Chain A
Amino acid sequence: MFDVFSDAAKVAQQLQIIASEYSFATWETLYSLLLEVVFAYAIGLPLGVLLVTGEKDGIRPLPGWVMALLNGVINLLRSIPFLILFIIALPLSKLIVGTKVGTPATIAPMVVAAFPLVARMVETSLREVNHGVIEAAQSMGASAWQIVRKVLLPEAVPSLLSGAAITIGTILGYGAMTGIVGGGGLGKLAINYGYYNFKFIVMWAAVIGLIILVQIFQSAGTKLAAVCDKRLRNRS
């Protein structure tokens, strides 16, 4: 690594790469992150709700086999190592966006890997909602759907936001790994340009970019969760 630093020309070349690639890579990382998070929640949020409402003592119990299937699939997807799952799910991209390479192609498999996590995060948040409040709503004649929309989700907002911050951090991490298998963004910069080509300045620059992004999303999530939480006395 120090050899690299001793060679001014190589340093200049790496800085050149950073200057020309960095902002596009960051953009790729961010837009794919946005799409992945949106789709992962579009699938994971309803499933997380079903995991809570559909169980035996839930507000709208589902047949046992449905719950077993749902839990089974989520556990299965959660237990396959990320990169393997990603590769297994890549054909989905061929189907949806017509290609297996590039940033757009990473989105579908990323969503497959992320929605089970989202479902579990949402499930955990909803389970924290005080059962007495649900019962109170039932005693007022609320339907299952009204309970989900007006009790479970709103009461769990702070916890859902904290969960989202963790989810975003994880998706960013996954997204960086896809650099190995043809994904774009900062991960690709770090792995393809940086690690594989011994351009460690590029690598570190990309890694630092990722670290900063994770920090931003995590602290924004934590902050937002606190701001939204009406149970905290010191503000109103």
Chain B
Amino acid sequence: MESIIEIQNLSKRFGAGDNQVAALQNVSLSVKPGEIFGIIGLSGAGKSTLVRCINLLENPNEGAVLFHGKDLTSLKEKELRLQRRKISMIFQSFNLLDQRNALDNICFPMELAGVPRKEARKRATELLETVGLPDKASAYPVQLSGGQKQRIAIARALASDPEVLLCDEATSALDPTTTDSILKLLQKINREKGITVIIITHQMSVIEQICHRVAILDAGRVAEIGEVESVFSNPQSEAGRRLVSPESALPVSEEDGPVARIAFNGNASEEPIIASVAMDLGIKVSILGADTRNINGKAFGTMLVSLPENREDKRRVLDYLNDHEGVTAEEVR
């Protein structure tokens, strides 16, 4: 499928000389129409810089950002402004206009686009319904909770009838329950309106909950990209492993002997397998650390287990584990 947004060899540096920071280095990725694409990384990885390069709030030093195949970096300012209406954005700090009430905030992008006032108000009222706040039309931002503000911001972002919605840490300022409801709303918008959503976050749970594909950003580079299930169950990059199971990146003490990393990718549950190793093979393995989770009712994640010293036994355990569907095991030490 043709991609709606394609980032090609994007680099962005801040500052000059010795203080220069390479925020993004040769980043390439493509987002398909209608998907929810996650970008995750630790603080300072360059996530915000990347998302701000997509609508050119930040000008990249090198590289191209293609929207429907058209390079945004080559556009004249006026043309870029028109394209920006098709790529909306929501923010961690909501960024509502404090001096306008909710309805007028939602009208704002339509005002910019010259939509007649009456029509804008009608559409804004519908959008208030969409985001579940029909009774807050005349409330000012100060009278709204964080979650409500983000809903208004989402309604505002939808007002220009965008094709892409960029979310920079849109739930990071919210409590878990509110986060949940906002994610559900984004999911609903994605499903019902077919809007492509790009989500920036440092929270694994956000990606797990709604993203289809994910890119892991590490120190300004893309460490890996893939389906959420495969990346999280079996990360290929060091950065991916650190994110998915922070403890597996920690060195396990030498005394534990050989260690295997078991990845679950959604077809098995972890508990019985370890028990059945002991029952079926008569070999006892112990769990050194685990970071597994349920995604859509399936088990994902990784686990570190100790292996027997004996080479033959070790082989048998690894083979046994790898025979199970949905499980990969490899010796890591």
Contact = CB atoms under 8 A, between A and B. Distances in A.
A150 B111 CA distance: 9
A1 to B, nearest CB: 52
B142 A155 contact: no
B82 interface: yes
Nearest to A134: B95
A158 B142 CA distance: 15
A162 to B, nearest CB: 14
Given A140-B160, A155-B97, A233 B142 contact: yes
A69 to B, nearest CB: 25
Contacts of B141: 230-231
Given A140-B109, A230-B99, A231-B98, A236 B143 contact: yes
B142 A142 contact: no
Given A139-B57, A233-B143, A236-B143, A151 B85 contact: no
B82 A150 contact: no
Contacts of A132: 91, 93, 95
Given A150-B108, A232-B142, A233-B142, A140 B95 contact: no
Contacts, number: 79
A141 B142 contact: no
A233 B139 CA distance: 11
Nearest to A156: B99
A154 B80 CA distance: 25
A138 B101 CA distance: 20
A133 B96 contact: yes
Contact of B81 (A142, A151, A154): A142
A231 B160 contact: no
Nearest to A130: B95
A230 B98 contact: yes
Nearest to A229: B99
A229 B87 CA distance: 31
A143 B81 contact: yes
B88 interface: yes
B84 interface: yes
Range class of the B interface residue count:
20 to 34
Contact of B88 (A135, A138, A140, A230): A140
Contact of B112 (A130, A146, A157, A229): A146
A103 B82 CA distance: 52
B140 A140 contact: no
A137 interface: yes
B200 to A, nearest CB: 14
Given A155-B97, A230-B99, A236-B140, A139 B88 contact: yes
A228 B98 CA distance: 11
Contacts of B112: 137, 140-142, 146, 150
A137 B113 CA distance: 12
* Of listed B82, B83, B112, residue having the most chain A CB within 10 A: B112
Contacts of B143: 233, 236
Contacts of A143: 81
Interface in A77-121: none
Nearest to A143: B81
Contact of B89 (A136, A151, A228): A136
A144 B141 CA distance: 24
B85 A133 contact: no
B97 A154 contact: yes
B55 interface: yes
Interface in B65-117: 80-85, 87-89, 91, 93, 95-101, 108-109, 111-113
Interface of A: 130, 132-133, 135-143, 146, 150-151, 154-155, 157-158, 228-233, 236
22 contacts: A130-B95, A130-B98, A132-B91, A132-B95, A135-B95, A136-B91, A137-B112, A139-B88, A139-B166, A140-B88, A140-B109, A140-B112, A141-B85, A154-B97, A154-B100, A155-B97, A155-B98, A157-B99, A158-B99, A230-B140, A231-B140, A236-B140
Given A154-B99, A155-B98, 16 more contacts: A132-B93, A136-B91, A139-B88, A139-B166, A140-B85, A140-B108, A141-B80, A141-B85, A158-B99, A230-B99, A230-B101, A230-B140, A230-B142, A231-B141, A236-B138, A236-B140
Q: Which 3 A-B pairs have the closest CB atoms?
A: A141-B84, A136-B95, A141-B81
